[in-house]
Structure 1
Amino acid sequence: MDIHSHQQPISGKKPKFYQILYVQVIFAIAIGILLGHFYPSVGESLKPLGDAFINIVKMIIAPVIFLTVVTGIAGMNNVGSVGRVTGKAMIYFLTFSTLALFIGMLVANIIQPGHGLNIDPASLHGEKVSDYVEKAHDSTIVGFLMGIIPKTLISPLVGGDILQVLFVAVLFGIALATTHEHSKPITEFLNTLTTPVFKLVGMLMKLAPIGAFGAMAFTIGKYGINSIGNLAMLIVTFYITSLLFILIILGAVARYNGFSIIDLIRYIKDELWLVLGTSSSEAALPTLMDKMEKAGCEKSVVGLVIPTGYSFNLDGTNIYMTMAALFIAQACNIDLSFGQQLTLLLVAMISSKGAAGVTGAGFITLAATLSVVPDVPVAGMALILGIDRFMSECRALTNLVGNACATIVVARWDKALDKEQCDAALKGHKAKA
């Protein structure tokens, strides 16, 4: 089930550097940037390459989650631990995603990236963001929770909604685990099916450089490197804040739980480059699940933590939301009191729970948050629409590291972590890198 076999030294023979996936992705990103910059119309026309790759990965996500969760739970000795693992994961998610919102708010107040733009709210064109606002109004908490329940038992496998797949997989896994002998043939069949499915993931990942090239050429071709200039302060502030959140906050959590966040980042570098190229953290979901299993986390924990984390543990999206909302207020010279900022924070805390790990979801969630807080004009989102694509890279990267870290921590809390295997995986990659 080793989907990274082409990257590992086989019988002492190391792969040539150009055969390594992340090297190919870096090369593709660089060519995409150059093409998009010098030939914008050509770059823009390559959008289907990036979209096609993300769709190819999405095609395999439902089977990967279903098989990992079902076989993981079916192999558990104690089915009650499903609720325990989910509960621990939720406590972790709520704690750190709330902390991320606070940090975004704190940094935006200290650095004030929007200060001095002096934009008249009446001059903002709201029609550009109206689509996002409509989507935001549709996403209520009740609607979100009802949406977790699928129409039929097999429709999630066809539709591909992560939480619906997880819901059905957990129920089916518990059913298998509690019928023991009768379900043995089905469990064995699903365990056997896991191998070719992960082999398929490995085959599809070879297309990653093409996807990254198309997505990056489109981004630079459409929005241009120049569009970063006038909003550089917000972008730089956001990237630095996210980096400090990973190194200091998640670094401290990792250290307390006996591993290094730097080693973890090095271990998942393939996935991080893939996310940077495609700007979607979903592109790396299947390989991340496989890697976390190889790092000594029990299959059931990986299957429960990562898919739920993709909806509930979005550290990058949360930092972005409070920071972007305050940026708009500062740019329009709207002075928010501490109480108003706290309201913004509470609304963001709730609305952020519905954002799945897809490109642009953070923007929709921001629209949902601003539409509840009337002091900040929703039309102000037009200010950051042009650079949202550059922000979504950082959101997705931070979310991915946050979920990888959460998996090891929750596995350790639940005594479902093979510490030796984890150390060997994280340090082993360090030695080879």
Structure 2
Amino acid sequence: MQPVTGPATPAVRRPFYLSLYFMVLVAIVSGGLIGHLWPDVGVSLKPLGDAFIKLVKMVIAPVIFLTIVTGITGMRDIGKVGRVAAKAFGYFLVFSTLALIVGLVTANVIQPGRGLNIDPATLNAGAVSQYSAAAHETTIQGFLTGIIPDTLVSAFTTGNILQVLFVSILFGIALTLTGDVGKPVVTFLESVSAAVFRLVAIVMKAAPIGAFGAFAFTIGAYGISTVANLAMLIGTFYLTAIVFVVGVLGLVAIANGFNILKLIRYLKEELLLVLGTSSSEAALPSLIDKMERAGASKSVVGLVVPTGYSFNLDGTNIYMTMAALFIAQALNIDLSLQDQILLLLVAMISSKGAAGITGAGFITLAATLAVVPSVPIAGMALILGIDRFMSECRALTNFIGNAVATIVVARWEGELDRDALKLALDSGSPPLAASPDPAAGPGDDAVLADD
């Protein structure tokens, strides 16, 4: 999908009740009611959510590969690839660290776990054994070598985003270096890209069904009453995430010439989908499409969005430090300043490489506590029951953070069409290309432009 470079017009609006935004919203509310009133029925609907996530994961690898390869070949300057990557990683490092600090400071000020006075001997270590086992398998060496796939093709069969990213960048650079010889391949890949994004549009039609099944399962399996038991922690986490998005990322948006609230409105369909499925991966293909249509160049979008899904996890970082301090406070463990600094440093490392999938934040928290002996991993049993509800907030914050990062890096590179961005954010809908496919119906040209 090419970025908007010429005159653009807002997508043709359909009646609100036919919009994907409205249908997903109705699906979430309906799923929540069924899960609450008939928990067994809600739990039985889990396959609907799982099937939709599998549908999306089916297209993620080709979307990333085609977007990155065609984006890099469009640069025609290998040095520019390194420059964009360096700026993106610099941004990720600064704001990921800032998110960790925000979570740490908030937990120290509000102290959501203070007063619970839980005896560590009463904790059920077996309840989190699977997460602690996975955490022990997560090492820096294993993470780095895990980026390299066993074969060129296996990267696309395992579903590992970092492996797909690695292969895509190498192939894009190699194709660029071939010069004119590689042009027929680039043309072919651009044609395949158009077909794949149309496939994404078809898959997204099932989003309301997936959100309905996933949310019905969440409420049916965990129950709203679970939230009440640890409402202080959940409320603190959600409030902190909102302050980070509106305050910190809001200031970043102002400094770069756009409004964070308008960006959130522009991405409302995707955010509802993330809320319903508790996974930011469910909206990854659509985010790539919408960022291009909002004026960010294909090359920048292709590099920043996939890497951000593993290295720019603002919500996960806030959660990690806040949850760790909550456990310590609940167990009456006083962490010294040195302990908290160690916790921060370890979290900076362990948070990298956690793909934007459900449950990754819990595993990285286990990996962090495994290195910080002051807080027992068994303490994670205290928050196991509400992790699913916190996972939704993590995914939403991660998603918004990556959208902001894409626009900022595109602006730094001079690869941002400001007119297209203003049109998209003011209208709340992705602009249509100047010359859309005549065969496409209204709103079909964009992945989710049916609002």
TM-score per shorter chain, which class?
Answer: over 0.9
Post-superposition CA distance 1:3-45 (Å, at most 9, x none): xxxxx754xxx31212101110110000111000010011111
Q: Give, in angstroms, the shift of residue 180 of structure 1.
A: 1.6
Contact residue 310 and residue 354 of structure 2 kept, 8 A: yes
TM-score normalised by length of structure 2:
0.93
Q: Which residue of 2 aligns with 1:59?
A: 58
- In the TM superposition, what whole-angstrom CA distance separates every residue of 1:219-254 from its partner, at most 9, and x where no partner exists? 110110000011000000000000000011001111
Q: Are 1:342 and 2:347 an aligned pair?
A: no
User: Counterparts of 1:125 and 1:360 in 2: how far apart (Å)?
Assistant: 19
Show the counterpart of 1:381: 380
Task: Name the structure 1 match of 2:396.
Answer: 397
What does 1:33-432 align with in structure 2 at a 5 Å threshold?
33-429=32-428
For structure 1, the 5+ residue unaligned runs are: 3-7
Matches of 1:34 and 1:408 in 2, distance apart? 37
- Once residues 57 and 164 of structure 2 are traced to their aligned partners in structure 1, the CA distance between those partners, rounded to angstroms, is 12
TM-align CA RMSD:
1.5
Q: Residue type matched to 2:402 in 1?
A: N
Amino acid of the residue matched to residue 300 of structure 1? S
Q: Secondary structure at the match of 2:373?
A: coil
Q: For the residues of structure 1 that align with 2:11 and 2:98, how far apart are their CA atoms?
A: 40
Distance 2:424 2:313 in 1: 25
Q: Which amino acid aligns with 1:273?
A: L
Indicate conservation of the 8 Å contact 1:115/1:330, yes or no: yes
> How far did residue 427 of structure 1 move?
1.3
2:335 and 2:35 map into 1 onto residues whose CA distance is 39
Deviations 1:198-219 (A, max 9, x none): 0000000010011101111111
User: Could you tell me how far apart the structure 2 residues matched to 1:385 and 1:157 are?
Assistant: 32
* Whole-angstrom distance in 2 between the partners of 1:189 and 1:239: 45
Q: 5+ unaligned residues in a row in structure 2: which ranges?
A: 3-9, 432-450
| Counterparts of 1:26 and 1:430, CA distance in 2 | 17
8 Å Cα contact 2:104/2:321 also seen in 1: yes
Q: Residue type of the partner of 2:426? A: K
- Distance of 2:258 and 2:28 partners within structure 1: 30
Supply the distance in 1 between the matched residues of 2:302 and 2:190 (Cα, whole angstroms). Answer: 14
Residue 431 and residue 64 in structure 1: after superposition, are their counterparts in 2 closer, same or farther (change >3 A)? closer
The offset of 1:419, in angstroms, is 1.4
> In the superposition, relative to structure 1, how do residues 24 and 174 fare at CA in structure 2: closer, same or farther (>3 Å)?
same
Q: CA deviation at 1:377?
A: 1.2
Match of 2:103, as an amino acid? G
C-alpha displacement at 1:430, in angstroms?
Answer: 7.2
The aligned length equals 426
- State how far apart, in whole Å, the 2-side matches of 1:179 and 1:160 are: 28
- Other structure's SS at 1:353 match: coil
Q: Secondary structure at the match of 1:354?
A: coil
| Amino acid in structure 1 at the alignment position of 2:383 | I
Q: Distance in 2 between matches of 1:234 and 1:181?
A: 58
CA distance in 2: counterparts of 1:158 and 1:407, whole angstroms: 27
- Structure 2 distance, partners of 1:153, 1:418, is 35
Preserved CA contact (<8 Å) 1:9 1:15:
no
8 Å contact kept, 2:266–2:430: no
User: Could you tell me which residue of structure 2 aligns to residue 5 of structure 1?
Assistant: none
Is 1:263–1:430's contact at 8 Å kept on the other side of the alignment? no
**Cα separation, 2, equivalents of 1:431 and 1:95:** 29
Give me the TM-score of the superposition, normalised by structure 1.
0.96
Identity over aligned residues, as a percent? 66
> Which SS does the other structure have where 1:297 is aligned?
coil
In structure 2, distance between residues paired with 1:137 and 1:420:
49
Report deviation, 1:354.
Answer: 2.2
The alpha-carbon deviation at position 47 of structure 1 amounts to 0.9
After TM superposition, give the deviation of residue 431 of structure 1 in Å.
11
